C-alpha cells in the first residue's frame, strides 16, 4: 500500500541514528563552536593590530602605560601590538577655542566682561609633551588647561589701562594680549598661537550710564559752541559789511578829493600857462614897443573912433599924440 504524504507529515518520526553516530556528531558541533570563536578572536586581534591616523591629527603610543615612541606618529595606517599598546591621538590642525566670559579689572578698578577667541595649532614638537606631560592622555583637556593662562594674561594686560582709554587703545591692547598669551602658551605647552581676538567688551551699567551722560554733555557743549560760533560769524559778517561800506565811502571820498585836487591842479596849471603866455606876450609887445616907439600911438589910432575926449586931464600934452597921427588938413585938426 502506498504511503500517504499527508499522513507521513503528521506521523513522521525522526529517523533513528545509526549505532555509534551520537558522540561523533557532538564532537563536530564543539569543534565548530571553537572554530567560530577562534575566527572571532582573530578578527578582533587583527582589528586591534592596525590603526589609522587622519591628516588632521598625530598620535602617541603607550605600551602597558609606558610611552613606546620617541616621535609622534603621523597620518596613515600603522601597526601596534594588540591589547598591549594604546594609541592616543591629538589634533594638530588649526583649532579655535572660545572663552565666552573672562572677567578682568582695569587700572581704575572697573570690572569688564571679555569674550576672547584663540586660534592656535599644536606643532609636531609639542605632541608628546601635551599628550603625556600636561593633564590627561589625549587632547580632551587642552582647552581646560590653557583657559586659566589666557584669563590671567588678559587680566594683566587690562590692569595697565584705564577704562576710558580702552576704546582708543584697542589695537595696542590686542597686540599686548597676543604677545603675552603667545609667550605663555609657547613656554608652558609648546602651543603655537596664530591669533587672538577680543570678540566683545562689556562694561558695567554704571559705567555705561556715565559714558552716556558724558556724551550727552559733550554734545550739548558742542551745540552751544556751534551756536556761539554762528553768532560770532554773523557778527563778523556785520562788521565786515560795515567795514566794507566804510572803506567804500573812504575810497569814494579819496577819489573825489583826488579828483578835486587834480581839477584844481589842472586849473592852476592852466592859469599859469595863460599867465605865462600873457606875460610873454606883454614882454614881446614891450620889446616891440621899445624897438618901434611909434607903434603905440599907431595902435591907439587904429582903435580910435574919431571922437575927441571931452575932458583932458593933465597939462594938455597928450594932445600931441592926436596931432601926430591925425593929418593937419583933416576936419578934426581944423577944429
What torsion do the CA atoms of 74, 95, 125, 76 make, to the nearest 10 degrees? 0
Nearest CA to 162 out of 105, 208, 102 is that of: 105
* In contact, 104 and 152? CB cutoff 8 Å: no
Please give the average per-residue pLDDT across 74-79, as a whole number: 91
Nearest CA to 173 out of 184, 158, 163, 185 is that of: 158
* In contact, 148 and 141? CB cutoff 8 Å: no
Helix (H), strand (E) at residue 62: strand 57-63
Question: Going from the N-terminus, what domains does the chain have, and what CATH number goes with each?
Answer: 33-92 (no CATH), 95-203 (3.30.479.30)
- Residues 138-189: pLDDT tens digits? 555 788 888 999 999 999 999 999 988 998 999 999 999 999 999 999 999 9
- Residues 176-212: pLDDT tens digits? 999 999 999 999 999 999 999 998 989 888 777 876 7
pLDDT at 81 (0 to 100): 87
Give the C-alpha separation, 296 to 51, whole Å.
157
Give the C-alpha separation, 231 to 312, whole Å.
91
Q: What is the pTM (predicted TM-score) of this model?
A: 0.53
Burial class (CB in 10 A: 0-12, 13-18, 19+), 237: exposed
Please give the average per-residue pLDDT across 12-40, as a whole number: 66
Higher-scoring residue by pLDDT: 252, 3:
252
CA 241 to chain centre: 41
Give the C-alpha separation, 80 to 59, whole Å.
12
Contact partners, residue 316, CB within 8 Å, separation at least 6: none
Nearest CA to 201 out of 236, 164, 226, 175 is that of: 164
Q: Coil, strand or helix: which one is 89? A: strand
Cα 331 to Cα 312, 319, 328, 334: the distances in Å are 20, 15, 8, 5
How does the average pLDDT of the chain come out, rounded?
Answer: 78
Q: Coil, strand or helix: which one is 315? A: coil
pLDDT at 220 (0 to 100): 79
Contact partners, residue 100, CB within 8 Å, separation at least 6: 115
pLDDT higher than 70, residue 306: no
Amino acid at each position: 500500500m502506498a504511503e500517504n504524504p499527508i499522513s507521513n507529515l503528521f506521523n513522521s518520526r525522526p529517523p533513528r541514528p545509526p549505532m555509534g553516530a551520537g558522540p561523533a556528531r557532538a564532537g563536530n558541533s564543539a569543534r565548530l563552536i571553537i572554530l567560530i570563536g577562534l575566527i572571532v578572536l582573530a578578527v578582533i586581534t587583527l582589528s586591534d593590530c592596525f590603526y589609522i591616523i587622519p591628516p588632521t591629527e598625530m598620535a602617541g603610543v603607550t605600551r602597558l602605560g609606558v610611552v613606546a615612541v620617541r616621535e609622534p606618529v603621523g597620518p596613515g595606517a600603522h601597526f601596534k601590538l594588540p591589547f598591549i599598546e594604546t594609541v592616543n591621538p591629538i589634533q594638530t590642525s588649526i583649532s579655535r577655542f572660545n572663552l565666552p566670559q573672562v572677567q578682568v579689572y582695569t587700572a581704575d578698578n572697573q570690572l569688564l566682561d571679555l569674550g576672547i577667541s584663540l586660534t592656535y595649532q599644536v606643532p609636531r614638537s609639542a605632541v608628546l609633551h601635551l599628550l603625556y606631560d600636561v593633564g590627561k592622555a589625549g587632547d580632551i583637556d587642552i582647552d581646560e588647561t590653557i583657559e586659566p593662562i589666557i584669563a590671567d594674561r588678559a587680566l594683566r594686560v587690562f590692569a595697565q589701562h584705564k577704562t576710558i582709554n580702552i576704546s582708543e587703545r584697542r589695537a595696542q591692547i590686542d597686540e599686548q594680549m597676543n604677545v603675552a598669551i603667545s609667550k605663555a602658551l609657547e613656554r608652558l605647552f609648546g602651543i603655537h598661537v596664530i591669533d587672538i581676538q577680543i570678540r566683545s567688551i562689556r562694561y558695567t551699567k554704571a559705567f555705561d550710564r556715565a559714558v552716556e551722560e558724558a556724551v550727552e554733555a559733550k554734545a550739548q557743549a558742542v551745540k552751544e559752541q556751534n551756536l556761539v560760533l554762528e553768532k560770532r560769524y554773523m557778527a563778523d559778517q556785520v562788521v565786515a559789511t560795515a567795514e566794507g561800506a566804510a572803506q567804500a565811502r573812504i575810497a569814494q571820498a579819496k577819489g573825489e578829493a583826488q579828483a578835486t585836487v587834480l581839477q584844481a591842479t589842472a586849473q592852476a596849471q592852466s592859469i599859469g600857462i595863460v599867465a605865462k603866455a600873457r606875460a610873454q606876450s606883454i614882454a614881446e609887445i614891450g620889446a616891440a614897443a621899445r624897438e618901434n616907439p611909434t607903434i603905440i600911438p599907431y595902435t591907439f589910432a587904429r582903435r580910435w573912433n574919431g571922437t575927441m575926449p571931452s575932458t583932458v586931464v593933465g597939462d594938455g600934452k597928450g594932445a600931441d599924440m592926436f596931432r601926430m597921427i591925425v593929418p593937419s588938413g583933416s576936419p578934426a585938426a581944423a577944429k
